[in-house]
């Protein structure tokens, strides 16, 4: 048991970052935390045992604990905590659900990071990832960790193995991340359903060459190797059809000097990596032009990697 359990009524605010999962060739294994956007969550320790989710988001998220990813994650944590405990959760949802920016992961991770703080930090980050994966199961039907891990650890993470969980934190050179979020919804569950279950050996060889190249490029601060490795021959050809303007954004961003990029998570958001800020801003101009011409509402972000991960704001 932890020795610094807060008293009932205590609350904590958590900033939970958006995340870009897959990172093009690393489907289900690579992910990156962003400095913006982020969810703001407030969790309060209650006298009454249980989970009480406030109805105060514009997306009409479920308040039943087992249907809200934050509640599902807390249920997993409470099962391991064993002693009776209660949490009241309020979510200021700034990452739109179904955006491809890890909205479900931000709620799942933020909830367990906050609860862990209130209980005196008895659990490790790996424990918290395990709990939060229950939230991803609610959101997409699968316990994937490639949004959760970077959201909790920060930076870029590699999920070498899910069962047992084996998370590897990666270093990387300074990079800008330009994101466009076309305001259409692509649910992860749908974007997973359309994937083929088998891949050709030729495609697999190309894909694992790119993953190894991308990870090596990160670790060696080799921008050219990173750029050459940002290629996905398995998932993107299937999913990109769900995102209007994708091919245009990708080609014109590369022409504007981006290292490369692709679908953020299961989409519809698209991300591009750049070495220089002026290039990242030029890529944003490309994204704005593409979606203005298409007449599709969108949001853009020019941001950087968030190395802190979900963090408690101690008032």
Ligand X SMILES: N[C@@H](CCO)C(=O)O
Ligand Y SMILES: Nc1ncnc2c1ncn2[C@@H]1O[C@H](COP(=O)(O)OP(=O)(O)OP(=O)(O)O)[C@@H](O)[C@H]1O
User: Which chain residues interact with ligand Y by CB under 6 A?
Assistant: 21, 61-62, 68-70, 91, 97-105, 107, 139-140, 147, 187-188, 265-266
Active site residue 178: no
For strands 50-53 and 86-92, give the pairing. Answer: parallel
Rounded Cα distance, 1 and 188, in Å: 37
Displacement of CA 300 from its chain's centroid (Å): 16
66 is catalytic: no
- Nearest-approach distance from CB 7 to ligand Y, in angstroms: 26
CB 14 within 8 A of CB 110: yes
181 in Cβ contact with 100 (< 8 Å): yes
Asked if 258 contacts 177 with a C-beta cutoff of 8 angstroms, the reply is no
Catalytic residue among 157, 188, 284, 300: 188
Closest-by-Cβ residue to ligand Y is 265
Give the nearer residue to ligand Y in terms of CB position, either 17 or 102.
Answer: 102
Examine residue 271 and tell whether it contacts ligand X (CB under 6 A): no
- Binding status of residue 266 toward ligand X by CB under 6 A: yes
Residue ranges at the known binding site for ATP: 96-106
Residue 74's binding partner, choosing from ligand X, ligand Y, none, with beta-carbon cut-off 5 to 8 A by kind? none
What pairs with residue 303 in β-bridges?
Answer: 177
Of these partners, ligand X, ligand Y, none, which one is at the site of residue 229 (CB under 5 to 8 Å by kind)?
none
CB of 111 to ligand Y, least distance (A): 8
Nearer to ligand X, 105 or 119 (CB): 105
**Is the CB of residue 240 less than 8 Å from the CB of residue 263?**
yes
Scan residues 189-228 and list those touching ligand X (CB under 6 A).
191-192
CB-nearer residue toward ligand Y: 151 or 256: 151
Residue 27 interface partner, choices ligand X, ligand Y, none, CB cut-off 5-8 Å depending on type: ligand X
Q: Residue 91 in 3-state DSSP?
A: strand
Cis ω for the linkage preceding 113 (within 30 of 0): no
Sequence-distant (≥ 6) Cβ neighbours of residue 203 within 8 angstroms: 233, 234
Confirm if 98 and 187 have CB atoms less than 8 A apart. yes
Give the active site residues: 136, 188
List of residues contacting ligand X (CB under 6 A): 21-22, 27-28, 144, 146-147, 188, 191-192, 265-266
């Amino acid at each position: 048991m932890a020795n610094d359990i807060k008293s009932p009524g205590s609350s904590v605010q958590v900033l939970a970052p958006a995340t870009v999962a897959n990172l093009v060739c690393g489907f289900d294994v690579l992910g990156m935390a962003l400095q913006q956007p982020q969810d703001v969550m407030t969790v309060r320790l209650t006298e009454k045992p249980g989970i009480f989710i406030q109805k105060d988001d514009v997306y009409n998220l479920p308040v039943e604990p087992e249907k809200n990813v934050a509640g599902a994650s807390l249920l997993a944590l409470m099962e391991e905590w064993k002693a009776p405990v209660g949490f009241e959760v309020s979510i200021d949802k700034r990452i739109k659900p179904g955006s491809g920016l890890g909205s479900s992961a931000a709620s799942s991770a933020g909830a367990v990071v906050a609860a862990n703080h209130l209980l005196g930090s008895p659990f490790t980050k790996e424990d918290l990832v395990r709990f939060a994966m229950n939230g991803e199961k609610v959101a997409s039907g699968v316990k994937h960790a490639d949004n959760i891990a970077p959201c909790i650890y920060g930076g870029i993470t590699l999920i070498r193995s899910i069962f047992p969980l084996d998370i590897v934190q990666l270093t990387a050179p300074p990079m800008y991340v330009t994101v466009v979020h076309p305001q259409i919804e692509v649910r992860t569950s749908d974007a997973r359903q359309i994937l083929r279950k088998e891949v050709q050996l030729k495609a697999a060889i190309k894909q694992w060459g790119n993953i190894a190249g991308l990870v090596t490029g990160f670790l060696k601060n080799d921008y050219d190797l990173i750029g050459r490795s940002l290629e996905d021959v398995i998932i993107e050809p299937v999913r990109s059809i769900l995102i209007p303007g994708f091919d245009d954004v990708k080609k014109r961003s590369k022409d504007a000097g981006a290292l490369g990029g692709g679908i953020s998570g299961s989409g519809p958001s698209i991300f591009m990596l750049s070495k220089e800020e002026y290039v990242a801003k030029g890529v944003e101009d490309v994204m704005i032009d593409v979606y203005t011409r298409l007449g599709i509402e969108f949001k853009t972000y020019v941001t950087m990697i968030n190395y802190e991960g979900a963090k408690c704001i101690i008032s």
